[in-house]
């Protein structure tokens, strides 16, 4: 399961109900540094408050793993020089083992590095919305947080051409504002 998430570029970890790390995909390994690491098969956070939050996550996991159903849990790891890492834990327990997509007493942890810029596949945007290559490039640059002026410089086109491309993107995606467009495209991530 975590290898499949790795193919999609999603950092993922499997953790048992005692807080021991069972498996880490390559995308998650790349996030480990002085602020967040694995020591003795457990997560270690340099920030004391983050360590408390990790302990609370494990305690919540223990509590919820004994209940039927799916329970999402979340915590945040504070980093000194960068934005935080958000950890979403998916705990699932069913009454019948055959219904359980996760092994008994195992949580799937999805890590989100808030420093990472989202990357929308231009090919996907072209296919889904019928955009031209230039329109898809503009849309991808908007998702990355670039201004229209920065996009004009990056694409080596005039501001007027950028605005014309943007109007066409709005039309083809059924959006009216840049924020609405970015929100739509982020659903493709």
Render each residue's pLDDT in the chain as its tens digit; 189 residues: 888 898 888 999 999 988 999 999 999 999 999 999 999 999 999 999 999 999 999 888 887 766 655 667 899 999 999 999 999 998 866 455 444 455 667 889 999 999 988 788 999 999 999 999 999 999 999 999 999 999 999 999 999 999 999 999 999 999 999 999 999 999 987
What's the Cα-to-Cα distance from 149 to each of 134, 146, 164, 183, rounded to whole Å? Answer: 15, 8, 13, 20
To the nearest 10 degrees (0 to 180), the angle between helices 159-173 and 148-155 is 110
DSSP annotation string for 74-113: EEEE--SSS--EEEEEEEEE-SSGGG-SS-TTEEEEEEEE
Residue 69 confidence (pLDDT): 57
| 2-113 fold | Beta-Lactamase (3.30.450)
Query: How far does the chain reach from its first CA to its final CA, in angstroms?
Result: 18
**Domain map (residue ranges) of the chain:** 2-113, 122-186
Q: What is the CATH number of domain 122-186?
A: 1.10.10.10
Query: Within 10 Å of residue 158's Cβ, how many Cβ atoms?
Result: 10
């Amino acid at each position: 399961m975590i290898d499949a998430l790795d193919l999609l570029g999603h950092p993922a970890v499997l953790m048992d109900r005692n807080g021991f790390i069972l498996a880490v995909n390559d995308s998650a390994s790349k996030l480990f540094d002085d602020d967040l690491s694995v020591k003795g098969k457990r997560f270690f956070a340099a920030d004391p408050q983050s360590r408390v939050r990790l302990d609370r996550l494990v305690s919540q996991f223990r509590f919820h793993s004994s209940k039927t159903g799916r329970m999402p849990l979340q915590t945040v790891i504070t980093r000194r020089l960068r934005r935080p890492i958000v950890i979403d834990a998916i705990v699932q327990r069913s009454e019948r083992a055959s219904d359980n997509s996760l092994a008994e007493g195992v949580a799937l942890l999805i890590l989100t590095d808030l420093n990472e810029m989202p990357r929308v596949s231009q090919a996907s945007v072209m296919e889904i919305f019928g955009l031209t290559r230039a329109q898809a490039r503009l849309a991808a640059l908007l998702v990355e947080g670039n201004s229209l002026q920065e996009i004009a410089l990056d694409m080596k086109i005039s501001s007027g051409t950028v605005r014309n491309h943007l109007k066409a993107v709005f039309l083809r995606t059924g959006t009216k504002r840049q924020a609405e467009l970015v929100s739509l495209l982020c659903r493709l991530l």
